[in-house]
Structure 1
Amino acid sequence: MSRLVFSDVDETLITGKSMFDFLGFYFTRRHGAKGTRHAERTRRHLNGMLSSGVSRAEANRAYYEAWKGQRAAEVAEWGARWLAVRQQQEGFYVERTRAELMRHRADGAVIVLVSGSFPAVLAPIAADIGARHLLCTRPEVRDGVFSGRIVGDPVIAEGKREAVRGLLRRYPHVSPGDCHAYGDHLSDLPMMAEVGHSTVVGGDPQLLAALAGARTISAQ
């Protein structure tokens, strides 16, 4: 193994936003109409935060407040169900990104998913594509139940940079210049700036402007 390949998830590896999609999927199917209302309130609250200029990192913290009181093991089981259902629907993965990650893995690279989402959602995806590491936001669990807080910092923007650097330290024989990163949004820039080869999925002009010479692939 001579390189790591880091990939954002939402709108980079998959076409949708995993956190919001799973929020509605879980609460509606697990808690019925009451759960649907809870998910809708949470979505409106988070959209309002972002519209008012709150950072993505702070909105990420607020997202996990919605999970307070849910049993972590049960949520993880529902995460596997969510992926099974979504994979039956056309267009779940960004196929170009998925194919490139599969090629990297076949060439001996270590695949790493980097996301502000959480293990209940991301672990099934990681298993499906053969990712070895998952760098993500971790909800705090007390007595098997989500507390509504997170452990450490959100893996958003600068949090992605720190997570990538931390993992690279565990692979001292790997040169960051030989590694790859895939992302779709300016918030992925801190992660992508840490490696030698960047691929922008979907052509975000701000991200392309910040990454001179980066490759671009379609998000379709």
Structure 2
Amino acid sequence: MTRRIAFFDLDETLLVGKSMLGFWRHWSALLVREGRTPPVLRVTGADREALNRDYFAHFAGVPLARFEAAARRWYADHRRQRRAYLAESLDALERHRAAGHEIAVVSGSGAALVRPVAEDLGVRHVLATEQLTDARGILTGAVRRPLIGAAKAESVAALVERRGVRALDCFAYGDHSSDLPMLSSVGHPVVVGDDPVLRAHGAARGWATLGARACARARRGGVLAVN
């Protein structure tokens, strides 16, 4: 049997919405309950990598263990929503699992935010933005490198090499034009949703497409679709 890896972007490919913004709302509510005023989060006015670095800078001084615990609580809340996941992407993930393929999530979101999702979905590999800590396990506010654009493709290539598979045999799923380097690096790219740049690029090359219908999680291996 040919060995393959299926690479999935996270936000708006597997999950409805953006994990970092969802977690920020959760974290801000936590700060308010503690009597603190959440800082203002910049969401526009810079490129994606700069916004990514700015986001994680807000957590300087926070123990990683506290951040990870909050991330797990955020995801526990998210997974209970009726519109939490993308139905066609979850179905594709289950088809890959049934075929014996390895599965990876590749995301610019923080690794601590991605891991609870990966564990819940039975995903083996997490490729995500790594937050740096000091010797005491305190977040410095810096990241090793935002896993966005070309960085995603490089992480995919590195895992392909480590696992001894061929990129031409692998699959990748993404929803945004910034996923183009990753999608272009494998033999079976799939466009999720309706990003106009990504859709046009994929249509010109005959790439497969999936819709963005939302669903609730029923159980492992099944979803409940909602309109």
Give me the TM-score of the superposition, normalised by structure 2.
0.87
**Partner Cα separation in structure 2 for residue 105 and residue 88 of structure 1:** 23
**CA drift at 1:26:** 1.9
Aligned residue number for residue 3 of structure 2: 2
Correspondence for 2:210 among 199, 202, 217: 217
Residue 46 of structure 1: CA displacement? 2.8
Q: 1:146 aligns with which of 139, 153, 163?
A: 139
**What is the aligned partner in structure 1 of residue 43 from structure 2?**
46
**Residue type of the alignment partner of 1:219:** A
Whole-angstrom CA distance in 2 between matches of 1:131 and 1:95: 16
Aligned: 1:168 with 2:155: no
For normalisation by structure 1, the TM-score amounts to: 0.90
Q: Which runs of 5+ in 1 are unaligned?
A: none
The structural deviation recorded for 1:27 is: 2.9
1:195 and 2:186 are equivalent in the alignment: yes
What residue ranges of structure 2 are gaps of 5+ in the alignment? Answer: 214-227
Identity %: 38
What residue in structure 1 maps to residue 111 of structure 2?
119
1:76–1:121 contact (8 Å) kept in structure 2: yes
More helix by share: 1
Structure 2 counterpart of 1:16, one-letter code:
G
CA shift at 1:34, angstroms? Answer: 5.5
| Contact 1:102/1:129, CA 8 A, preserved across alignment | no
Q: Which string of whole-angstrom CA distances, capped at 9 and with x for unpartnered residues, describes residues 37-96 of structure 1?
A: 32xx01xx232x2xxxx2211211111101111111111111111111111110101111
- Deviation of residue 205 (structure 1)? 2.3
SS in 1 for 2:55: helix
Give 3-state SS (helix, strand or coil) of 1:46's partner. coil
Aligned partners of 1:203 and 1:217 also within 8 Å: no
Match of 2:219 in 1: none
> Which structure dedicates a bigger proportion of its chain to strand?
2
Q: AA paired with 2:196?
A: P
CA distance in 2, matches of 1:87, 1:36: 27
1:32 Cα deviation from its structure 2 partner: 2.6
* Residues 28 and 34, structure 1, Cα contact 8 Å, conserved in 2: no
The residue aligned with 1:106 is 98
Change (3 A) 1:34 1:197: farther
2:26 maps to a residue whose letter is F
Specify the alignment match of 2:15 in structure 1: 14
